[in-house]
Structure 1
Amino acid sequence: MSWSLPALLQGLHKGIHSRLHTAREVAGHPVLKGDAVETVWLGMLSDYLPERYRARRAVVVDSNGAFSHQIDIVIFDRQYSPFVFHQDGLDVVPAESVYAVFEAKQIITAEEITYAQDKAASVRALYRTSLPIPHATGIADPKVPHPILAGLVTLESSWKPPLGDSLTKNLGARQGEHALDLGCVAAHGIYARNGDGGYQVEETAMAATGFLFELIARLQTLATVPMIDVRAYARSLKA
């Protein structure tokens, strides 16, 4: 047997694409379809992200008691985060531990982009604590909380061409806390926000694999999460 890296990468994409297509064809009810799509993307991220990360359907909470919307995919730290709550099949994750949030849908449309942007803003609006960090030679300054990545992953596009001006125009219509940084249309390619707020698209036959690699590269630039102030959360014990 001879090994081939391109074949391995293509196989990863084909597996995701096939499962997304099956979810669309088999799951009859819209809610079931949505759950099936989330499961496919969560499965890929759980299998291939480094162990320091977790990917779950979750709600995000801050130390002031404010909550985000329910998010299809939250990528968060599990190495340094001291707690994650589990409630009725849903995780509740402290805001400080969040690296990225994604919505997972069947088809990318203008409405779904707006929906994902609102979800992202609900997380980014939360307050994040950050304490000084003790180390072997002293105490480091608190880390400035990193930007939280956000995006939308789908199987198909509602536009022709799938990754054309209609896509980038809708993505770029809202910036700041609503901006989507990275996404995948598994049947066609990936899109990514650059430093000036514009979007680059890449048509590729291995979109899911390309998305995974770009996501990991961007997660690497975020380094570790800030040191959470657990006592700030503990104040809710007196409420």
Structure 2
Amino acid sequence: MTNKVNMKELFLEMQQDMLMKLSLIRKHVTHAPTKGNAVEFSWIEFLGTYLPNRYCVDTAFIVDHTGTRSDQIDLVIYDQQYSPFVFCHAGVKYIPAESVYAIFEVKQTLNKQHIEYAAKKAKSVRALKRTSVPIVHAGGTYPPRPVFDIVAGIITTSSDWKPPFGKSFQEVTGALEPLQRLNIGCTLDSGSFLLQPDGTFDTSSKEETWIFFFIKLFTQLQNLGTVPAMDIDLYSQALDSI
């Protein structure tokens, strides 16, 4: 007899564990900045645990070779294989734009203000200049790969809207500029959404919020492939001796 694992049940238990953790934070942490940091850390820890090891997850600023810096990003999914420099100064991380796969704003609730804030953060990252150089391998050289569209989204515990992804949500997201576009999001106690190429949204049921979000996010990361190899020479021009 073949032993079977109920994968849906495992995902639902993961979702319930996360909801319980965030509920405890909301109930017992009354200082707003501390509460926000605790929620961000919970999501970073959660995604860092379940995403493959090739993906790093942190809070950080994103920078490009011109020295331009993004707004602070609550949750960055990034790669260090082909873009090895992650700068850390006084506990603050600065990640090269070439390294970034996805960015998320983490808030308590889904509403107009928080969507527009997340969209502003997304634009501050997507507007950065990214480089791409050839990759030398044992059999020759791979040409520079085109830079891809960085995935951007929002993660919340609950929604101010009922239903969460109805008319109000679609009006707010529909008014966003291309660089502000939010591809994916999770409202843990209500549902998740995924933006389709035609501008419509796929949404999950309340019961399968985390399953939907995690699988759709992982699929998007897989579809991006590997980040471009950064032009280290352009970054090194900040040095007087180069």
Same fold? TM cut 0.5: yes
Deviation at 1:29, TM superposition (A): 1.4
- Provide Cα deviations, 1:140-195, integer angstroms capped at 9, x if missing partner: 22110011000000011011222212112212211310000000000011011110
List per-residue Cα deviations over 1:117-156 (Å, max 9, x = no partner). 0000000000001002223333222110011000000011
Paired amino acid for 1:207: T
Question: What is the correspondence of 1:159-174 to structure 2 with a 5 Å cutoff?
Answer: 159-174=161-176
- Asked whether the 8 Å contact 1:163–1:188 carries over to 2, the reply is no
1:79-110 deviation digits (Å, cap 9, x = unpaired): 32211111233211000000000000000110
Which segments of 5 or more consecutive residues in structure 2 lack a partner in the other structure? none
1: CA distance, partners of 2:9 / 2:229: 41
Deviations 1:26-66 (A, max 9, x none): 11011111111101111111101110110100000100110
Aligned partner of 1:20 in structure 2 is 22
Aligned to 1:236: 238
Please provide the CA RMSD for this pair.
Answer: 1.6
Equivalent pairs counted in the alignment come to: 239
Residue aligning to 1:126: 128
Q: Is the 8 Å Cα contact of residues 62 and 94 (structure 2) preserved in structure 1?
A: yes
Contact residue 163 and residue 203 of structure 1 kept, 8 A? no
Indicate conservation of the 8 Å contact 1:117/1:180, yes or no.
yes
SS at match of 2:22: helix
In structure 1, runs of 5+ residues without a counterpart are none
Counterpart of 1:72 in structure 2 is: 74
SS at 2:102 equivalent: strand
Asked whether the 8 Å contact 1:120–1:177 carries over to 2, the reply is: yes
Q: Output the CA distance in 2 between the equivalents of 1:137 and 1:113.
A: 47
Contact 2:62 2:69 (C-alpha < 8 Å) held by counterparts: yes
CA distance in 2 between partners of 1:88 and 1:172 (Å) = 39
Residue in 1 aligned with 2:140?
Answer: 138
| Matched-pair contact (CA < 8 Å) for 2:204–2:212 | no
Matched residue SS, 1:18: helix
What does 1:1-239 correspond to in 2, within 5 Å? 3-238=5-240
Q: So what's the TM-score if we normalise by structure 2?
A: 0.94
Identity %: 40
The TM-score with structure 1 as length reference comes to 0.95
Matched residue type, 1:232: L
